[in-house]
Amino acid sequence: MERVREESERLALGVARVSARRMVTRCMIASTLMISAPTVALHAQARAPEPAGTAVLLLADSLTLGDYCNASRNVMALDTVRKLLGVRMAEVQANVDKLCDPRVAAFTLRTLTGDQPASFAAVARREQEAFHEVARVPLRDVTVLVDRELRSDDDMRRAIRAASPAVAAPFVKVTEVARRLFFDEAGARSLKHLANYERKLGPQAPQLNGVEVLLNYAAQRWVPGFAPSIKRGPSPLELVVTYVPTYATGVDRKAVAVSASEFGVRGYLFGDNWGKTGVEGILKPAYWSLGALVASDRNGALAWPWDGRTRTGVFVGWGETKVGYIAGRKGSLLVTRQVQFIPYLF
């Protein structure tokens, strides 16, 4: 009996040791997994581009498409790079040339996201052709194509690193900023933003007077509802404060000129189905307008709205056509077209 008891205790002790070893092994495996998992995640994250941070956005506000163009051209002038590109040289050169277009070369990389207030020159309608070109050519995609050709291949990267710092450093800087900037930016959304800016600031947009330029430049930066956002891009709204000497009305079956002042808001109609031209533009224009109308009882093409007895009414615009109504005035229904005779005046 004593021998049987000793054997039983020895067997139990062995089982306990095996169980203990298994438990320790499992704990070690679990600990290893817990420690290694964040490390693996960090390595995986390190391989992906980081989202654009404050420093990147500041650089994107200073680096231009012209900088991207010049840096790419300097790299492509290297003999080693030209040999590596081979027959693709002409295609890459054509894409780089799009960034060198004088109409868009001064635009910053941040402009391609379409989430920033427009410049003073853009609000003043001095860059209409540039915004038309940016909306027509997907320049954001062009930078991606150039980056793919000049930075994706290991041999290409080694050739660029072997170049002088004056050539390699500017190229790496501008392309890396573009990569970080567009990492979190949906391409379709950026293109949509730029198309909306083209509608608001491009050739179809009406010319503003000096007061409107100042007001709208300030409004898009500090007034809620008029500022752009990351999700929607530019605001569709624009302030209207102008003197219009081209209204016409009927008095005693005769057409006479009327001068009036307008105070209101203009709204741009974003989307592919709007902004038509010709006959279609009558039904689907690029913008509408609404506001208060002030005119004198005295008619005339250059009459002062506050001369004599002043009356206030309303106006509604649908594209270039505007209709006003002032109750109690002889010739209360007024009609005009959106036009500016003297730049930045009326």
pLDDT at 296 over 70: yes
pLDDT at 183 over 80: no
The band of 301, judged by pLDDT with boundaries at 50, 70 and 90, is confident
Query: 281: which residues sit within 8 A by CB, 6+ positions away?
Result: 275, 319, 320
- Give the per-residue pLDDT at 329: 84
Long-range Cβ pairs for the range 318-327 (8 Å, 24+)? 318/285, 318/288, 319/281, 319/282, 319/285, 319/286, 319/287, 319/288, 320/206, 320/281, 320/285, 321/282, 322/289, 324/247, 324/260, 324/293, 324/295, 325/293, 326/293, 326/295
78-93 tens-digit pLDDT: 999 999 999 999 999 9
The band of 337, judged by pLDDT with boundaries at 50, 70 and 90, is very high
- Give the per-residue pLDDT at 205: 95
DSSP sequence for 30-73: HHHHHHHHHHHHHHHHHHSPPPP-HHHHHHHHH-BHHHHHHHHH
The pLDDT of 241-249, averaged and rounded, is: 95
Question: Which range among 96-100, 183-187, 296-300 has the greatest average pLDDT?
Answer: 96-100
Task: Spell 131-157 as b/e; 16+ CB within 10 A means b.
Answer: bbbbbebbbbebbbbbbebbbeeeebe
The band of 5, judged by pLDDT with boundaries at 50, 70 and 90, is very low
- Give the per-residue pLDDT at 39: 33
The pLDDT of 258-263, averaged and rounded, is: 95
- Give the per-residue pLDDT at 145: 87
- Give the per-residue pLDDT at 14: 43
Instruction: Please state whether beta strands 254-268 and 237-251 pair in parallel, antiparallel, or not at all (unpaired).
Output: antiparallel
The band of 131, judged by pLDDT with boundaries at 50, 70 and 90, is confident
pLDDT at 10 over 70: no
The band of 225, judged by pLDDT with boundaries at 50, 70 and 90, is very high
44-62 tens-digit pLDDT: 333 344 555 678 888 988 9
The pLDDT of 252-260, averaged and rounded, is: 91
15-24 tens-digit pLDDT: 344 344 444 3
Of the listed ranges 3-12, 87-96, 106-115, the one predicted with least confidence: 3-12
- Give the per-residue pLDDT at 262: 97
The pLDDT of 86-110, averaged and rounded, is: 91
Give the DSSP H or E segment for 326: none
